[in-house]
Structure 1
Amino acid sequence: MSAIERLGLAALQWLDPETAHSLALKALKTPFAPNISPPTSPALATEVAGLKMPNPVGLAAGFDKNAEAIAPLMRAGFGFLEVGAATPRPQPGNPRPRLFRLTEDSAAINRFGFNNEGVEAIAQRLANRPHDIPVGLNLGANKDSKDRAHDYVEVMRLAAPHIDFATVNVSSPNTEKLRDLQGAEALRALLTGVTDIKGTTPVFLKIAPDLTDAEIAEIAQVAAETRVDAIIATNTTLSRDGLQNAHKVQAGGLSGRPLFAPSTRVLARLYLETNGHIPLIGVGGITSAADAYAKIRAGASAVQLYTAMVFCGMSLIPRIVHGLDEMLAHDSFTNVRDAVGVSAKDYA
Structure 2
Amino acid sequence: MIPDFGAAALRLLDPETAHGLAIRALKHAPIPAAAPDDPILATRIAGLNLPNPVGLAAGLDKNAEALAGLSRLGFGFVECGSVTPLAQPGNPRPRLFRLTEDRAIINRMGFNNDGLDAFAAHLRRRPPATIVGANLGANKDTGDRAADYVTGLRGLGGLSDYFTVNISSPNTPGLRALQGRDALDDLLGRVAEARTTPAPVFLKIAPDLTADEIAMIVEAALAHRIDALIVSNTTLDRPDSLRAPDRAEAGGLSGEPLKARALTALREAAAAAAGRIPLIGVGGIASGRDAWDRIRAGATAIQIYSALIYEGPGLVGRIKRDLAARLRAEGFSSIAEAVGRPC
State whether TM-score is above 0.5.
yes
CA distance in 2, matches of 1:13, 1:130: 29
Structure 2 distance, partners of 1:120, 1:133, is 21
Q: Are 1:150 and 2:147 counterparts?
A: yes
Q: CA deviation at 1:160?
A: 1.7
Q: CA deviation at 1:236?
A: 0.2
- Residues 40 and 335 in structure 2, CA contact (< 8 A), matched pair in contact too: yes
1:28 counterpart residue number: 26
Task: Tell me the equivalent position of 1:132.
Answer: 129
Alignment: residue pair count:
340
Match of 1:219 among 217, 225, 230: 217
Matched, 1:173 2:173: no
Aligned counterpart in structure 1 of residue 39 of structure 2, from 37, 42, 45: 42
Q: Deviations over 1:61-93 (max 9, x none)?
A: 000000011121111000001000010100000
Structure 1, unaligned runs of 5 or more = none
Letter in 2 for 1:78: F
TM norm structure 2: 0.97
After TM superposition, the structure 1 stretch with the greater mean CA deviation from structure 2, 282-291 or 121-130, is: 121-130
SS of equivalent residue, structure 2 residue 226? coil
TM-aligned CA deviation for residue 34 of structure 1 = 4.2
Answer whether contact 1:91 1:116 (CA < 8 A) is retained: yes
> Partner residue of 2:118?
121
> Which structure 2 residues correspond to residues 53-202 of structure 1 after superposition, within 5 A?
53-199=50-196, 200-202=198-200
Cα distance, 1:35 vs structure 2 = 2.0
> Does the aligned pair in 1 maintain the 2:82–2:136 contact within 8 Å?
yes
* Structure 2 CA distance for aligned equivalents of residues 116 and 84 of structure 1: 8
Contact 2:287 2:319 in 1 (8 A): yes
> What is residue 208 of structure 2 aligned with on the other side?
210
1:7 Cα deviation (Å)?
Answer: 3.5
- Residue of structure 2 equivalent to 1:315: 314
Shift of 1:184: 0.7
Q: What letter corresponds to residue 227 of structure 1 in structure 2?
A: R
Counterpart in 1 of 2:329? Answer: 330
Q: What letter is aligned with 2:252?
A: G
Compute the displacement of 1:277 (Å): 1.3
Matched residue SS, 2:133 = strand
CA offset at residue 133 of structure 1? 2.6
Is residue 240 from structure 1 mapped to residue 238 from structure 2 by the alignment? Answer: yes
1:25 Cα deviation from its structure 2 partner: 1.1
Supply the distance in 2 between the matched residues of 1:22 and 1:279 (Cα, whole angstroms): 33
Note the residue ranges of structure 2 that are not aligned, 5 or more in a row.
Answer: none
Can you list the C-alpha shifts for 1:259-286, whole angstroms capped at 9, x where unaligned?
A: 1111111111111111111010000001
Give distance in 1, aligned partners of 2:57 and 2:17.
Answer: 19
Alpha-carbon deviations, 1:218-245, whole Å to 9, x = none?
Answer: 1011011111100000000001112111
* Equivalent residue letter for 2:70: L
Q: Distance in 2 between matches of 1:20 and 1:254?
A: 18
Question: Is this contact kept in 1: 2:53–2:300, CA < 8 A?
Answer: yes
| Residue deviations 1:273-323 (CA, integer Å, cap 9, x gap) | 111110100000010011001000001000000000000111110111111
Q: Which amino acid aligns with 2:192?
A: T
Q: What is the alpha-carbon distance in structure 1 between the residues aligned to residue 186 and residue 40 of structure 2?
A: 39
CA displacement at 1:6 relative to structure 2: 4.6
CA apart distance, 1:30: 3.0
Q: Contact 1:263–1:284 at 8 Å: present in 2 too?
A: yes
Q: Judging changes above 3 Å, is the alpha-carbon distance between structure 1 residues 6 and 229 closer, same or farther for their aligned structure 2 residues? A: closer
- Say whether residues 1:305 and 2:295 are aligned partners: no
Deviation (angstroms), 1:46: 0.6
Give the TM-score of the pair, scaled to structure 1: 0.95
**Matching residue's letter, 1:301:** T
RMSD (CA atoms): 1.2
2:273 is matched by which residue type in structure 1?
Answer: T
Preserved contact between residue 37 and residue 75 of structure 1 (Cα < 8 Å): no
Contact 1:53 1:133 in 2 (8 A): no
Q: What letter matches 1:255 in structure 2? A: S
- Give the share of equivalent positions with the same residue, in percent: 54
Structure-2 separation of matches of 1:243 and 1:88: 36
Stretches of 4+ moved more than 4 A in 1?
none
For residues 162 and 102 of structure 1, the distance between their equivalents in structure 2, rounded to whole angstroms, comes to 36
The alignment partner of 1:195 has SS state of helix
In the other structure, the counterpart of 1:251 is 250
Assess if the C-alpha contact under 8 Å between 2:62 and 2:82 holds in 1.
Answer: yes
Distance in 1, matches of 2:265 and 2:32, equals 33
Q: Distance in 2 between matches of 1:163 and 1:5?
A: 28
